[in-house]
Amino acid sequence: MLKIAVLVSGGGTNLQAIIDGIENGSITNTKIETVISNKKDVYALERAKNHGIKSSVVSPKDFDTREAFNKALLEEIDHAQVDLIVLAGFLVIIPEILIKSYRNKIINIHPSLIPAFCGAGYYGLKVHEAVLSRGVKLTGATVHFVDEGTDTGPIILQKAVEVNQEDTPEVLQRRVMEEAEWHILPQAIDLIANHKLEIKENRVTIL
């Protein structure tokens, strides 16, 4: 049984996609052990509560230094004894101590087709604003392992989504979620839970 921690910062739609996947059987051999938010009073915490999932808040605002926050976040995850950390819209830079402790055990969902529109400054609506201002015809989402870089870890899955001429950033964000993110994040977790992928030289092979 793959035990996961889901890290969130907002409404938790990707968390809901994982919960739904486990409940409908499209994600197998997996249990959400804990949900951790860096913000209080976000709806993702309500989603966890509604499904009887343990949750906690570890906020940088509650600590005097970033180092103290990083240490507390690592301790909270260690305490949960999980096999995989899933960043589901977690808008905090992952500290190096966490990456080192959980090498190739942290995955992230990013709302573009990496290496396009990724890296420093590309998050949330900013990604979709950049896609529209550049005039590209295809965007999408990527699930990747997390390393010390920003959006540079090995890519697990990608799914393309068409950009429409009349799209606003908000409309495009919703379509990327519905058509890509909510599909490939559960799929990636299921692959990991069932030992269906391996990493060699920064490349993921699906077995």
Q: What is the CATH number of the domain that holds 72?
A: 3.40.50.170
Catalytic residue among 110, 128, 144, 183: 110
Sign of the alpha-carbon torsion through 122, 35, 108, 106: positive
> What's residue 26's pLDDT?
97
> What's residue 184's pLDDT?
98
Q: Does 110 qualify as catalytic in the annotation? A: yes
**pLDDT over 70 for what percent of the chain?**
100
β-strand 155-162 against 2-8: which pairing, if any?
unpaired
Nearest to 185 by CA among 166, 205, 159: 159
> What's residue 170's pLDDT?
98
DSSP letters, 82-112, are: -SEEEESS--SPPPHHHHHHTTT-EEEEESS
> What's residue 10's pLDDT?
94
Domain span at residue 15?
A: 2-206
Tokens representing residue 52 in the block = 């009887």
Per the structure, the count of domains in the chain is 1
Would you say 37 and 77 are in contact if contact means Cβ atoms under 8 Å apart? no
Class of residue 51 by CB neighbours under 10 A (exposed 0-12, middle 13-18, buried 19+): middle
- Amino acid letter for position 168: T
Distance CA 126, CA 146 (A): 20
> What's residue 201's pLDDT?
87
With a cut of 50, list the residues of the chain below it in pLDDT.
none
